[in-house]
Structure 1
Amino acid sequence: MTESDLKAGVIFGDRATDEYVYMPASEIGVKVPVCVYEAPGLRDDIDFAEALRLIRVRSLRPTTHPRLGKTSC
């Protein structure tokens, strides 16, 4: 479920820690997509496998991003 949500543009995060993982709209449907990990003072491109790992390890849930809203689309 997390994988399909991420591929659909759903933003995962934790508003308390200001951490977010999402796939930019420009990457949706790309064969090898690049995702974004944001934390205070940090914005990094990460591969899809790392995005899924961070979502699991940090227990990130679908949330609302302060700039993007609920989805990256």
Structure 2
Amino acid sequence: MEWLRRTLEHSAFGVCGWLADHMGIRRTRVRLYFIYLSCLSLGSSLPFYFFAAFWLNIRDYLREGRRQVGL
């Protein structure tokens, strides 16, 4: 069961985890609020999630590139 949870968290881009760490609250609470918000807003929060996942991925890519150039 732990393996399944880790796999799902990794494949979900870690947006909720990043947001929770940044705000200083528990990850499960952010995920729960995201699920409630998605249900109440009929999925309109999904574009925000995908945008945040894309932005975090690009930001990490740019940081990796800067480190490699500096070496």
TM-score bracket, normalised by the shorter chain, equals 0.3 to 0.5
TM-score norm. by structure 2 comes to 0.33
Report which structure shows greater RCO (CA 8 Å, sep ≥6).
Answer: 1
TM-score norm. by structure 1 comes to 0.32
Write 1 or 2 for the structure with the bigger share of helix.
2
Write 1 or 2 for the structure with the bigger share of strand.
1
